[in-house]
Structure 1
C-alpha cells in the first residue's frame, strides 16, 4: 500500500516536524508535546512566557507539576497521566488556567495521545486556546444579551437552556448556535463559566464559607461544587482561597 501524501513528505524531512515555530506565532494558544513520562519535549513561546521562563528549553524534561508549584500543576499532570494510560483524548475541556506567574484566564483544552507503530501510547500533544470576551456592541451579542444577563443574575439556581432561550426569544438551537459563535462555548459551558467565575471571585475576595459560596453559585451539594471547581481550575476551593485570597482574615 503506498504511503499517504503526508507520510511521504514527512519521511523526507531531515528532522521530525513539530510545528513549534508555527505555534510560536500564536500568542493566545499554549502548545506542547510530551513523552510517555508526561515530560515536555516541545513547547511554544506562549507557554514559556506564562510559566515565567526566558528560554523554552527550561521547560523541556519537566512535568506540569514540576513547572508549576503545588497545587497549580497537579491537575494538569493528572490529566496527562490519564491520557497516557488510557489513550482517551481530552476534548474541548473548559478550564481556568492559573500559571506560576499569577496570570489566569479561561481556555479550551484539547489533548491527543501519540501512538507508535504498534499502537502503544508513547506521548501526547495538546493545545489550550484562550477565550476572549465578545464585543458587546455587536448586533449578534444584542440578540443573546437578555439571556446572558438573566444567567448572570440567577447563578444561585439551576438554569436550563430552554429557560434562557425563552428569555432571548429564540429556540434552544438558535441560542446555542449564537452563543457558540460569540463565546466559542456551548450554552452549558457558558453557564458553567459564569458560575465558576462567581465562585472564584467570592473565594478570592470574601471569607464566606465554601458551602455558602457553592450555594450562591447554584450547587446544593458542597462536594459536587468542590469536584467541579477542582476539575475546572485545578484547585479545590480551599486551595484556591489560600493561594489567591485577598478577603478579610
Structure 2
C-alpha cells in the first residue's frame, strides 16, 4: 500500500517540507560520507547561516568550528559503518549563537535494496519544559529539589523514589511523562548543567567543578562530560571563551 502511494509522487518524499515547520527540532539526511543532503530550516538557523545551500554538501565537522563538529561526524560514521541506529541520545548542544540546549538525538541508517547502508536520517529534538504548576509535577517536586540541592553528593534513584513516596518504577514513569527523561537521565543532566555553568561563569579548577557536580574522580567527570557534550571540560571552557 505505502509503496504504491510513494511511487505515484512527483518527487521523492524526504520530509523536508514537514520538518521545516518544527522550530524545536533539527532534521537531516546525510550520505555515506556524512554530508548533508537534506536539512530543515531550524538546522539552518542554528548553524547561523542564511540559506540551506550554505550547509548542503558539507559534513558537521566542516560546518562547525573545532572541536564541536567532530562528535557529530564520529556519530555519523558509527551509524554508517555498523548499520546500527543511535536511539534517544541525550546531548548538550552548543549553538553558533553561544547558547546551549539539551536535545534527544536519534539517527537511523538508510539501507538500499540489497541491505547496504547508503546514508542516514536523523533528528535532534529540544527537551520540552515541564509545566511546573501541575499536580503531576507537584508530586515529585520535593524529590527533585532535594536532588538539585545535593548534586555534590547526588542521591540514587531509589532514594529519590522514597522521598517522592513512589516506587522506582512509578517515579521513572512520571519523569518520562513530565520531562521525557528517565530519572537517571535527569540526574545526569542536572549534574552536567551545573558543571557547564561553573565552567562558563567561573575560573574554578576543573577538579573542583568535578567535586561540585558529584564526581570524586576527575577522569570519570571528564568521560561523562564528553559523552554529553562531545568535548572535555577543558575544551568546553575554551570554546565558550571563544564564543
Q: Report the TM-score when normalising by structure 1.
A: 0.94
Matches within 5 A, 1:92-241: 92-241=88-237
Q: Distance in 2 between matches of 1:112 and 1:159?
A: 34
Partner of 1:55: 51
Superposition deviation, residue 14 in structure 1: 2.4
> Partner of 2:171: helix, strand, or coil?
helix
> Partner of 2:68: helix, strand, or coil?
coil
Partner of 2:11: 15
- Asked whether the equivalents of residues 50 and 99 of structure 1 are also in contact (C-alpha less than 8 Å), the reply is yes
Partner of 1:76: 72
Task: Tell me which of 34, 38, 52 is aligned to 1:38.
Answer: 34
Deviations 1:85-138 (A, max 9, x none): 111111111001112232321110000000111111111000011013212111
Superposition deviation, residue 218 in structure 1: 1.6
> Partner of 1:135: helix, strand, or coil?
coil
> Partner of 2:143: helix, strand, or coil?
helix
Q: Distance in 1 between matches of 2:51 and 2:241?
A: 31
Deviations 1:33-80 (A, max 9, x none): 000000000000000000011111211000001111111111111111
> Partner of 2:108: helix, strand, or coil?
strand
Superposition deviation, residue 20 in structure 1: 0.3
> Partner of 2:129: helix, strand, or coil?
coil
- Asked whether the equivalents of residues 92 and 110 of structure 1 are also in contact (C-alpha less than 8 Å), the reply is yes
Task: Tell me which of 86, 91, 104 is aligned to 2:82.
Answer: 86
Cα RMSD after superposing both structures: 1.2
Q: Report the TM-score when normalising by structure 2.
A: 0.96
Q: Distance in 2 between matches of 1:245 and 1:192?
A: 24
* Structure 2 unaligned spans of 5+: none
> Partner of 1:96: helix, strand, or coil?
strand
- Asked whether the equivalents of residues 72 and 99 of structure 1 are also in contact (C-alpha less than 8 Å), the reply is no
Q: Distance in 1 between matches of 2:36 and 2:97?
A: 19
Superposition deviation, residue 245 in structure 1: 4.2
- Asked whether the equivalents of residues 47 and 96 of structure 2 are also in contact (C-alpha less than 8 Å), the reply is yes
